[in-house]
């Protein structure tokens, strides 16, 4: 059995020598690489005493690397190495184990010293907030800046709410795969035109490992797709969801991408028979930052119409590729995706997905709108105090039109690229 002190020593080698942070595998993976990327939240997270900040995002998106970059920055500012503690929470079975290790560390440090505590993938530990709350109630976190990361939106939101008055001025941050803007800013893609960047983004998406593959090999390898697929399966298993059912639901989302669907439509032509099952799995995919549910806009309430059909989008093109190929065990997924993007009908749906994701990230909550009477649809409705902003995606330039008494802005690829690049 590994002792508490051994866990601390193994995960915090900079205690022995501050320069060992430079040998950390996550730091080395991006060192001197043309695809090196530092997320914007690096400069936004305040590390003040008593603050508990939470970073949310999908697995394999760079949350651990972000924490290691923050630690590297603190060490460069000549902070005492022992004042920084990092723990990967995947190594703990219970909140009591986490509490015990943190308690040992906190009691070993001077009571007045500012500490920096980084707890990575904390949503792996059931009821993790009990450990943090207990330490806060004992007054042991008053001089600590705490940063938590996790890959389950619902768990982090609900657990964070169970820390009333204990988070100081800490905030919630989201870390997504790179946007097309961030992809275009990478050194390795500086020579590409905006049109080429859009084509590349729809092909490989913005997950770090897929980008690294493309730079090294000119494609995304099957092993990388399988790595992401395995964490999707593993996370679902933690919540006792069946892998075969997950495959079917993902496949149907890929088939109905950008279409208005009801739960019965989603499970058509699939072995899944229950609407409740479909809802359960889709909600899990949303909580795991894999897809988003876009509801129809209600003009009267200025919010969602839950009883109407909804649209489902993957948050990144790479996830679409996995969803569309997993059920049938298709090999050479990168080449398959290249062929799909030669079909205008498919490209139009994926382009809509890309635009919806980018605008939703910028503005927050967004919807679509459809009128049975008028036979009109708007791809994207963004609530605004001065009136909703309406957008429609088209692969070709098209004339503007009116819906809900307002002009609908047409977003073609050229127009989209002007907005984001």
The superfamily in CATH containing domain 4-174 is P-loop containing nucleotide triphosphate hydrolases (3.40.50.300)
Cα separation values, 279 from 121, 266, 303, 357, Å = 25, 10, 20, 21
Spatial distance between the Cα atoms of 4 and 98, rounded to a whole number of angstroms: 9
Spatial distance between the Cα atoms of 413 and 112, rounded to a whole number of angstroms: 56
Decide if pLDDT at 52 tops 60: yes
Model pLDDT, residue 1: 35
Q: What is the mean pLDDT of the chain?
A: 93
As a whole-number percent, the residues of the chain with pLDDT over 90 amount to: 82
Spatial distance between the Cα atoms of 249 and 284, rounded to a whole number of angstroms: 11
Cα separation values, 151 from 65, 69, 122, 323, Å = 14, 19, 8, 19
Model pLDDT, residue 195: 96
The three-state (H, E, C) secondary structure of 56-112, written as one string = ECCCCCCHHHHHHHHHHHHHHCCCCHHHEEEEEHHHCCCHHHHHHHHHHHHHHCCCC
pLDDT digits (tens, 9 = 90+) for 198-233: 999 999 999 999 999 999 999 999 999 999 999 999
pLDDT band at 386 (very low <50, low <70, confident <90, very high): confident
Spatial distance between the Cα atoms of 82 and 66, rounded to a whole number of angstroms: 19
Paired tokens of 406:
């307002």
Paired tokens of 160:
């964070």
Q: Cβ contacts of residue 116 below 8 Å, gap of 6+?
A: 47, 71, 74, 79, 83, 84, 85, 144, 145, 147
Q: 309 or 162: which carries more pLDDT confidence?
A: 309
Interval 102-120 mean pLDDT: 93
Model pLDDT, residue 153: 81
Q: Is 90 left (phi over 0), alpha (psi -120 to 50) or beta?
A: alpha
Q: 316 or 406: which carries more pLDDT confidence?
A: 316
Spatial distance between the Cα atoms of 278 and 284, rounded to a whole number of angstroms: 10
CB-based burial, 10-44: b 16+ in 10 Å, e otherwise: ebbbbbeebeebeebebeebbeebebebebebeee
pLDDT digits (tens, 9 = 90+) for 234-263: 999 988 999 999 999 999 999 999 999 999
Paired tokens of 421:
């690049």
pLDDT digits (tens, 9 = 90+) for 334-373: 999 999 999 999 999 999 999 999 999 988 889 999 998 8
Model pLDDT, residue 3: 53
The DSSP H or E segment spanning 196 is: helix 194-204
Model pLDDT, residue 11: 95
User: Where are the domains positioned within the chain?
Assistant: 4-174, 180-420
Spatial distance between the Cα atoms of 332 and 108, rounded to a whole number of angstroms: 53
As a whole-number percent, the residues of the chain with pLDDT over 70 amount to: 99
User: CA 305: distance to chain centroid?
Assistant: 25
8 Å CB contact between 204 and 214: yes
pLDDT digits (tens, 9 = 90+) for 148-187: 999 888 887 777 777 877 898 999 999 999 999 999 999 9
Interval 300-308 mean pLDDT: 93
8 Å CB contact between 40 and 272: no
* Torsion (CA) 26, 27, 31, 34 in degrees, nearest 10: 50
Model pLDDT, residue 4: 67
């Amino acid at each position: 059995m590994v002792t508490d002190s051994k866990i601390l020593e193994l995960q915090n080698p900079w205690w022995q020598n501050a320069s060992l942070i430079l040998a950390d595998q996550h730091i080395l993976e991006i060192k001197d690489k043309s695809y090196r990327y530092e997320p914007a939240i690096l400069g936004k997270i305040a590390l003040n005493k008593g603050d508990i900040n939470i970073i949310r995002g999908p697995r394999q998106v760079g949350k651990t690397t972000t924490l290691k970059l923050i630690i590297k920055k603190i060490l460069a500012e000549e902070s005492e190495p022992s004042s920084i503690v990092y723990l990967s929470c995947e190594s703990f079975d219970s909140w009591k184990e986490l509490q015990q290790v943190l308690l040992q560390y906190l009691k070993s440090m001077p009571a007045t010293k500012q500490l920096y505590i980084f707890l990575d993938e904390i949503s792996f530990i059931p009821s993790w907030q009990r450990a943090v709350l207990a330490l806060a109630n004992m007054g042991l976190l008053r001089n600590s800046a705490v940063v938590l990361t996790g890959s389950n939106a619902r768990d982090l939101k609900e657990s964070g709410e169970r820390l009333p008055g204990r988070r100081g001025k800490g905030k919630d941050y989201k870390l997504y795969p790179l946007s097309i803007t961030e992809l275009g800013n990478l050194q390795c893609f500086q020579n590409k035109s905006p049109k080429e960047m859009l084509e590349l983004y729809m092909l490989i998406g913005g997950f770090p490992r897929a980008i690294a593959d493309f730079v090294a090999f000119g494609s995304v390898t099957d092993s990388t797709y399988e790595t992401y697929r395995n964490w999707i399966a593993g996370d679902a298993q933690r919540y006792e969801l069946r892998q075969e059912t997950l495959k079917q639901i993902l496949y149907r989302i890929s088939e109905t991408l950008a279409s208005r669907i009801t739960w019965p439509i989603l499970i058509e032509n699939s072995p899944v028979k229950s609407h409740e099952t479909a809802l359960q799995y889709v909600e899990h995919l949303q909580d795991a930052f894999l897809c988003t549910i876009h509801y129809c806009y209600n003009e009267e309430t200025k919010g969602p119409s839950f009883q109407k059909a909804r649209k489902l989008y993957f948050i990144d093109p790479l996830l679409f590729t996995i969803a569309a190929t997993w059920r049938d065990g298709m090999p050479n997924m990168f080449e398959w995706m290249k062929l799909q993007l030669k079909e205008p009908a498919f490209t139009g749906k994926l382009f809509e997905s890309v635009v919806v994701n980018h605008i939703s990230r910028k503005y927050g909550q967004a919807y679509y709108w459809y009128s049975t009477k008028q036979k009109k649809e708007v791809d994207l409705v963004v609530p605004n105090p001065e009136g909703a902003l309406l957008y429609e995606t088209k692969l070709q330039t098209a004339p503007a039109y009116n819906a809900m008494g307002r002009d609908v802005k047409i977003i073609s690829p050229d127009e989209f690229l002007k907005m984001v690049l």
